[in-house]
A = this chain, B = another copy of it.
């Protein structure tokens, strides 16, 4: 996949940094490639549910945002993205020290971009699959240029 913004990584990192909610829950950008983004989030109680696992809302958020930025990495400068919809299957409890969300663009049209996301939990250095998601992103060029 070919990025249309030579500074795509910086664009992703800057737009991510401007999302208060991502900072609030403690998520960070771990890796950016054209059409691919990995986000990570360390466990702490504030992002948990009753049993000390990652909360489903946090899992869904990290899936959605990774997908949005994977799409964003392929857009020209001064573009925006909008989540049209996503669907997530939570296939195992979110038990672990770190949540890792990896999103890959499967098709980038001019208006609509489709992504696939895998969310893993890492416990004592071992990763296991926690959730899988499919997402539709709408690309808007000429917008404010700060992603979502």
Contact = CB atoms under 8 A, between A and B. Distances in A.
The A contact surface, by secondary structure, is mixed
A111 interface: yes
Interface of A: 15, 18-22, 24-25, 45-51, 55-58, 60-62, 64-65, 68, 82-93, 106-107, 111-112, 114, 116, 129, 132-134, 136, 138, 144, 146-148
B89 A88 contact: no
Given A22-B55, A51-B146, 7 more contacts: A20-B47, A25-B57, A60-B64, A83-B90, A85-B87, A86-B87, A87-B134
The number of times this chain is found in the oligomer is: 4
Contacts of A93: 82
Contacts of A24: 46-47
Given A56-B65, A64-B60, A129-B107, A18 B85 contact: no
A118 to B, nearest CB: 9
A106 B129 contact: yes
A55 B50 contact: no
Contact of A50 (B18, B114, B138): B18
A136 B21 contact: no
Contact of A84 (B65, B83, B136, B147): B136
B64 A49 contact: no
